[in-house]
Amino acid sequence: MTQYLLNINPIAILVHAAIPLTIILVYALVAIWAERKVAGFIQDRLGPMRVGGWHGWAQSIADLLKLIQKEDIIPADSSRFLFKFAPFMMFAASYAAFAVIPFSSSYIGSNINIGVFYLLAVTSVLTLSIIMAGWASNNKWSLLGGMRSAAQLVSYEVPTIATVLTVIVVTGSLNLMTITEMQSGNDILGFLPNWLIFQNPFLLVAFVIFFISILAESHRVPFDLPESESELVAGYQTEYSGMRWAMFMLAEYADMLLLSLLGATLFFGGWNSPFGEFMSGPFWSFFWFMLKGLLLVFVMMWIRWTLPRYRVDQLMYICWSILIPLSFINLVLVALWEVIF
């Protein structure tokens, strides 16, 4: 073990840490701007148009500079250490999960054999950080938002894990790079990509359940009960300001990208080109992978400005009475399909 630690190159560690962080930061700035533009177009208006020239592309940068300058307010009766630590813990959990995401055919931060298990385990820390933020704020709205989030995340983790298990049953691997490599080529009917969503009809059902579950996991409408503005002001974020609030927002957008990239890896071939060997290679594989993930992020944004928010009882009914039974039945059907065909 000691010899292994001595052989670790610190420069390589910094590079592997910097690449996902750079992707997250650039993506967050673009995604915040894009969400405003999507909202504007859906509501028949323009959205940001002034800052930076073309369609207000620098609005997110201006907002970041504003947040950096804002006063860091800490409530007098709060638990100061936990209040300060919660946003960093939340972002660290989202950031650490990117270590096992295969960004291209030639780059993955850590190619471990239990990548899926690691990712699901690390993202579960998000629940703890949100409860910590809600409780430490000493605010009834924050605490209620934190408890709602705990109930929601714990509930919707069950169908998420069940749908991930369907992919593991088909591929026989927990390694995300291996799962991606098994989806290369255009072998289905001679022209369809060899992606898992085309290999088994029940995997399409699994993806629909997975996508609904990650909407709830990332607190997106119609599952944004932990921070519903009309009821809880801002939920567990109510007492936060400045950069600590920005950390929560960055973690939320990072979580959207993380879960979308996981969906692209498990169901849509990951970094594999939709045209087989054409337009493949390290650069193109990164391009296809990010395109698939960002398309799922766009659908999340689209849904936000289309559907109304569910009530708490409706949210729990959808999970425990519909998604969980359906996901386990679907898991059995996927296994039977693999055995028979």
Helix (H, G, I), strand (E, B) or coil at 103: strand
Nearest one of 117, 123, 214, 124 to 175, comparing CA atoms: 117
Mean pLDDT of the 70-98 span:
89
Answer yes or no: is pLDDT of 236 > 50. yes
CA distances from 66 to 21, 47, 59, 60, 69 (A): 21, 19, 11, 10, 5
pLDDT of 231 reads 67
Q: pLDDT digits over 244-279, tens only? A: 889 988 998 999 999 999 999 999 999 998 887 778
Answer yes or no: is pLDDT of 103 > 50. yes
pLDDT band at 6 (very low <50, low <70, confident <90, very high): very low
Q: pLDDT digits over 130-144, tens only? A: 889 889 988 888 888
Answer yes or no: is pLDDT of 4 > 50. no
Q: How far is 307 from 329, CA to CA, in rounded Å?
A: 27
Q: What is the dihedral of CA 272, 274, 278, 283, to 10 degrees?
A: -40
Question: How remote is the C-alpha of 282 from its chain's centroid?
Answer: 23
- Least reliable range by pLDDT among 74-78, 155-159, 207-211, 324-328: 74-78
**Average pLDDT, rounded, for the chain:** 88
Q: pLDDT digits over 40-58, tens only? A: 999 889 888 888 888 899 9
Answer yes or no: is pLDDT of 2 > 90. no
Q: How far is 200 from 188, CA to CA, in rounded Å?
A: 11
Which of residues 16 and 27 earns the better pLDDT score?
27
Q: pLDDT digits over 142-169, tens only? A: 888 888 888 888 899 999 999 999 999 9
Q: How far is 88 from 162, CA to CA, in rounded Å?
A: 29
Note whether 268 and 199 are within 8 A (CB).
Answer: no
**Could you count the other beta carbons within 10 Å of the beta carbon of residue 4?**
7
pLDDT of 5 reads 46
Q: pLDDT digits over 178-187, tens only? A: 999 999 877 6
What single-letter amino acid sits at 272? N
* pTM, 2 dp: 0.93
Q: What percent of the chain has pLDDT over 70?
A: 94
Q: How far is 207 from 233, CA to CA, in rounded Å?
A: 33
Mean pLDDT of the 6-28 span:
83
Answer yes or no: is pLDDT of 174 > 70. yes
